[in-house]
Chains A and B, each alone.
Chain A
């Protein structure tokens, strides 16, 4: 645990006069599973977008394995070993399920922008993509257009695409949003399986998933982290209960 996998310091983001993220300091260690929770509009997705350079921060820094990511494009950050999924399913709908995963493997297998290799000739690509499909249980859907899959399957595919490139920091934005209980259990198991040994940062609303998965939890309210710690500590924190958790837990029971 020398350098943290991801380190945020003084991160701020304003849209015009509206301050969405008001100064976040957070350090996430290697192989830690970290959940970010908070009420709607707390800025969870914005925080994700800041880390992955979808938005530029107003102030502060993001460090991946000790390296400052300022000024890098999303694709450059991805090449450094950070991969993310999206809150709204974000796959390649017209391409087959297999193609979706294969595309996610291309860069990490060193193909870059080459036009002198044929993708179908590479056993490593085909077998790697099939191995991922097996992990996410979509081998039977291999040749269907991704857009025709069920919602849960598309979410699973998205997780597959996210992990395929072999990134060691995985960020999942509400992976179980809009799912039934069985689907949620299925995705939770899947996440546990595919992120073993990797750093996982996830935004999640489902408290069952959060407490089942996370090593540590951060609670984000109005652009600030009001508590960070082990699930039990966070659950016991009076500030958290007041701001968010109490209401959510009550709603669940």
Chain B
């Protein structure tokens, strides 16, 4: 076999490696630059808060996907590791002498170590299998620790949670993190670092074997790897980065409560990750951005945002199991064939009417909600910058017609979109 290696110097492989190095570095540099200039575009504090929220969710979702997407482990209690990391960070904040001796920027490391420690304990018995048993143990442990939060008041602070003050840390090059923008840059730096480390992890032997164990644990065992240990290492690494996200949360909000580690939060992160797409590394990033926007921006305009988020999740699971990332990557094949432009017109013809129809449907939902829940006599409502009487027949007729016509057109044009899609994915022909 040795002589084959020398007679086959695989030059193409080396060329590819050099090319892929610039290719793999590019997204990171672009992201870093983008995060650096973002505050110049959006200057107000509330936008910064949303962006920080996004960053925290990105780290958490990426950590979660180390289990779900890369390791094939479905966890229903992963908020626990983020939460415990966050609580630990809060306690460090409150240890005034120690806290004054460390810069705030390293606090997430401590949070990560606590998340990791807990993951080591739980992982030691939960990673034996990846299927239902793992999911049930994660759920059980999640509930258990969430229940502990009202029992072990010393650590979890009971119902009021634990609060602290980040500014007591040792100043970092003179920065005391009094201002939101300073916290923004701290969080942004941690997102880039964590995401890069998690990406690198997926390229290491143990990260590659996590995929192998996900696909076929038995075969992996016959390659010399214990499926259980591979899962354990993934679990511990995921616990570390979940803890880091908890530490970032602690720095941003300076308070942690039971909400940070309950099952609802664990459910949200599953939703976020799946929405973005578990099959690709960048999937959870998209999921975190979209979900945070829904949660913050949409919730400003409607009380019913959770219905829309839920519907979106449902639609994703049913029609696009690859999530947003899968949807994007579906277009790589047409792009490589040079046939992407074939899709532009069919997309316009189908997606715009569909979007209008969905907005019409949303209007009907909102009107129903207004009729049922507004104070008696308050018939006036504002929707899409229009103020009208929610009890008037005309408003209902318009919304209903828009819905029917929009979805109707989309339905009629859908077959031609399908045709265009098949054509765009077939090699050959005029292009």
User: Residues of A at under 8 Å CB distance from B?
Assistant: 52, 54, 73-75, 78-79, 83-84, 86, 90-95, 99, 102-104, 106-108, 111-120, 126-128, 130-131, 134-135, 161-162, 165
Contact digits for B101-114, partner A, Cβ 8 Å, 1 yes 0 no = 00000000000000
CA distance A59 to B248 in the complex (A): 57
Main secondary structure of the interface of B (DSSP, over half): helix
Residues of chain B within 8 A (CB-CB) of A130 are 8, 10, 13
Q: Is B270 an interface residue (CB 8 A)?
A: no
Residues of chain A within 8 A (CB-CB) of B219 are 86, 90-92, 161
Residues of chain A within 8 A (CB-CB) of B10 are 126-127, 130
CA distance A62 to B249 in the complex (A): 55
CB distance from B163 to the nearest CB of A (A): 35
What is the total of A-B residue contacts with beta carbons within 8 Å?
Answer: 118
Tell me whether A95 and B212 are in contact (CB under 8 A). Answer: yes
Given A115-B233, A120-B17, A126-B10, residue A102 in contact with residue B222 (CB < 8 A): no
Give 10 closest A-B pairs by Cβ, nearest first: A107-B224, A111-B205, A92-B215, A74-B221, A78-B224, A115-B204, A131-B4, A113-B206, A103-B212, A75-B221
Q: Is B223 an interface residue (CB 8 A)?
A: yes
Tell me whether A126 and B13 are in contact (CB under 8 A). Answer: yes
Among B4, B214, B221, B223, the residue within 8 A (CB) of A104 is B223
Q: Is B229 an interface residue (CB 8 A)?
A: yes
A94: nearest chain-B partner, CB-CB: B215
Q: Is B269 an interface residue (CB 8 A)?
A: no
Given A115-B207, A118-B203, residue A79 in contact with residue B222 (CB < 8 A): no
24 pairs, CB–CB < 8 Å, chain A vs chain B: A52-B222, A74-B221, A74-B222, A75-B226, A78-B221, A78-B224, A92-B215, A99-B211, A102-B208, A103-B212, A103-B220, A106-B205, A107-B224, A113-B230, A114-B204, A115-B237, A120-B20, A126-B10, A127-B13, A128-B1, A130-B8, A131-B1, A135-B4, A161-B223
Tell me whether A91 and B223 are in contact (CB under 8 A). Answer: no
CA distance A128 to B5 in the complex (A): 7
Tell me whether B205 and A78 are in contact (CB under 8 A). Answer: no
Residues of chain A within 8 A (CB-CB) of B200 are 118
Tell me whether A117 and B205 are in contact (CB under 8 A). Answer: yes
Tell me whether B208 and A99 are in contact (CB under 8 A). Answer: yes
CA distance A138 to B96 in the complex (A): 62
- If A92-B211, A118-B204 are given as contacts, then 18 extra A-B residue pairs at C-beta distance below 8 Å, sorted by A number, are A74-B222, A79-B224, A91-B219, A92-B215, A92-B216, A92-B220, A94-B215, A103-B208, A103-B223, A106-B205, A107-B225, A113-B206, A114-B205, A115-B233, A115-B237, A117-B205, A135-B4, A165-B224
Residues of chain B within 8 A (CB-CB) of A119 are 203-205, 208
Q: Is B422 an interface residue (CB 8 A)?
A: no
Residues of chain B within 8 A (CB-CB) of A117 are 204-205
CA distance A184 to B223 in the complex (A): 25
CA distance A75 to B222 in the complex (A): 5
Q: Is B424 an interface residue (CB 8 A)?
A: no
CA distance A128 to B233 in the complex (A): 26
Residues of chain B within 8 A (CB-CB) of A91 are 216, 219
Tell me whether A115 and B215 are in contact (CB under 8 A). Answer: no
CA distance A117 to B206 in the complex (A): 9
CA distance A217 to B69 in the complex (A): 45
Sort chain B's interface into a size bin. Answer: 35 or more
Residues of chain B within 8 A (CB-CB) of A134 are 4, 8
Residues of chain A within 8 A (CB-CB) of B227 are 75
Tell me whether B201 and A73 are in contact (CB under 8 A). Answer: no
Tell me whether A115 and B224 are in contact (CB under 8 A). Answer: no
Q: Is B209 an interface residue (CB 8 A)?
A: yes
CB distance from A87 to the nearest CB of B (A): 13
Tell me whether A114 and B215 are in contact (CB under 8 A). Answer: no
CA distance A102 to B214 in the complex (A): 16
CA distance A106 to B215 in the complex (A): 17
CB distance from B70 to the nearest CB of A (A): 11
CA distance A103 to B213 in the complex (A): 10
CB distance from B191 to the nearest CB of A (A): 20
Among B203, B215, B226, the residue within 8 A (CB) of A95 is B215
CB distance from A238 to the nearest CB of B (A): 38
Among A73, A83, A106, A161, the residue within 8 A (CB) of B209 is A106
B279: nearest chain-A partner, CB-CB: A94
Q: Is B419 an interface residue (CB 8 A)?
A: no
CA distance A135 to B212 in the complex (A): 22
Residues of chain B within 8 A (CB-CB) of A104 are 223
Contact digits for B1-43, partner A, Cβ 8 Å, 1 yes 0 no = 1001100101001000100100000000000000000000000
Among A86, A120, A165, the residue within 8 A (CB) of B223 is A165
CB distance from A134 to the nearest CB of B (A): 7
CA distance A91 to B227 in the complex (A): 15
In the complex, which residues 120-179 of chain B have their Cβ closer than 8 Å to any Cβ of chain A?
none
Residues of chain A within 8 A (CB-CB) of B208 are 99, 102-103, 106, 119
CB distance from A26 to the nearest CB of B (A): 21
CB distance from B283 to the nearest CB of A (A): 15
CB distance from B12 to the nearest CB of A (A): 10
Tell me whether A114 and B206 are in contact (CB under 8 A). Answer: yes
Q: Is B378 an interface residue (CB 8 A)?
A: no
Q: Is B182 an interface residue (CB 8 A)?
A: no
CA distance A91 to B1 in the complex (A): 23
Q: Is B380 an interface residue (CB 8 A)?
A: no
B17: nearest chain-A partner, CB-CB: A120
Tell me whether A73 and B205 are in contact (CB under 8 A). Answer: no
Q: Is B218 an interface residue (CB 8 A)?
A: yes
CB distance from A96 to the nearest CB of B (A): 10
CB distance from B340 to the nearest CB of A (A): 21
CA distance A73 to B225 in the complex (A): 10
